[in-house]
Amino acid sequence: MNEIVKAFILIFSLDKELMGIIFLSLKVSGLALAAATVIGLPIGAFLGLKRFPLRRIIIIILNTFMGLPPVVVGLFLYLLLSRSGPLGFMGLLYSPSAMVIAQTILAFPIVTSLCHSAIVNINPIIKQASMTLGATSAQAAVTIIKEARYGIMSGIIAAFGRVMAEVGAILIVGGNIAGYTRVMTTTIALETDKGNFELALALGIILLTISLFINLFLHLIQQRGIIQANI
């Protein structure tokens, strides 16, 4: 009980170490999400809008990768980035950049797959309507993506939730270096091992609060999408 009180004191006193860890977590996950969105959104849109050979296989692979175990991603990335690995010359291992890459790999299939689903679920009449109004194929594609905006946003938020709560991959490639690569999830794991429960609890409360807001936001977007679909 005493630890919980101390945890709240840490939060409300805006403890410098705590704030640094939160800021780094948000920075790493935010950058990873941005990268995954920039790469995943056009690919998801392409998969949703175009029909080509191997499309179904790509979709199945993406759906499978949505449940990619983070430790496996961490392991493969470690082998790639370690000094003796093919990308070792870049010197990225145990840096925030390596953590961003790891989280991007985890977020990418979620953004891509959910973006694809959002687009294929748009009524085909929308494309026909835009074509009858004089849209080119590219303009019709933009219209469909706009119509799928709620589903796409849901995918992006779901990916953010996944990377924020992730620990395995970033622990392997980030190394949990204090003040440099230590983020909320890895700190919780480390401080719990050390018996320093107040910092672990404080970060747990912050992580849960962020998770709550992400889910609330996701729920609101989905509700809005459901309301629009039912009209």
Partner 1 sequence: MSLTLTVSDIWKSYKGIPVLKGCSFSFDAGATYAVMGANGSGKSTFLRICALIENPAKGEVHYFYNSSAVKNDIELRRRVTLVLPGIGIFNTTALSNVTYGLKIRGIKKSEAIKRASEALEFVGLFQKRNQNALTLSSGEAQRLGIARAVVIEPEILFLDEPTSSIDEKNTEIVEDIIFKMKQQRGTTIILTTHDNSQAERLAEKTLFIREGCFISR
Q: Which residues bind partner 1 (CB under 8 A)?
A: 123, 125-126, 128-136, 139, 143, 146-147, 228, 231
Minimum gap (Å) between residue 113 Cβ and partner 1: 22
In this structure, how many other beta carbons lie within 10 angstroms of the beta carbon of residue 12? 9
Looking at beta carbons only, is 136 or 209 nearer to partner 1? 136
**What residues have CB less than 8 Å from 96, skipping those under 6 apart?**
24, 27, 28, 174, 180, 181
Write down the least CB distance from residue 48 to partner 1, Å. 17
Question: CB of 121: closest distance to partner 1 in angstroms?
Answer: 13
Contact 151, 117 (CB under 8 A): yes
Q: Which residue, 116 or 127, is less far from partner 1 as judged by CB?
A: 127
139 within 8 A of 130, measured Cβ to Cβ: yes
Angle at 225 between CA 221 and CA 226, to 5 degrees: 115
Query: Do 59 and 130 meet the contact criterion of CB atoms below 8 Å apart?
Result: no
Compute the least distance from the CB of residue 132 to partner 1, in Å: 4
Nearer to partner 1, 144 or 170 (CB): 144
Cβ nearer to partner 1, comparing 123 with 215: 123
Min dist. Cβ of residue 52 to partner 1 (A): 20
Compute the half-sphere exposure of residue 208: CA atoms within 13 Å on the CB side of its CA: 7
> What is the per-residue burial (b if ≥16 Cβ within 10 Å, else e) of 167-199?
bbbbbbbbbbeeeebbbbbbbbebbeeeeebbb
Residue with Cβ nearer partner 1 (130 or 176): 130
CB nearer to partner 1: give 137 or 215. Answer: 137
Nearest distance, CB of residue 123 and partner 1, angstroms = 7
Residues near 176 by beta carbon (within 8 Å), at least 6 away in sequence: 182, 186, 187, 189, 190
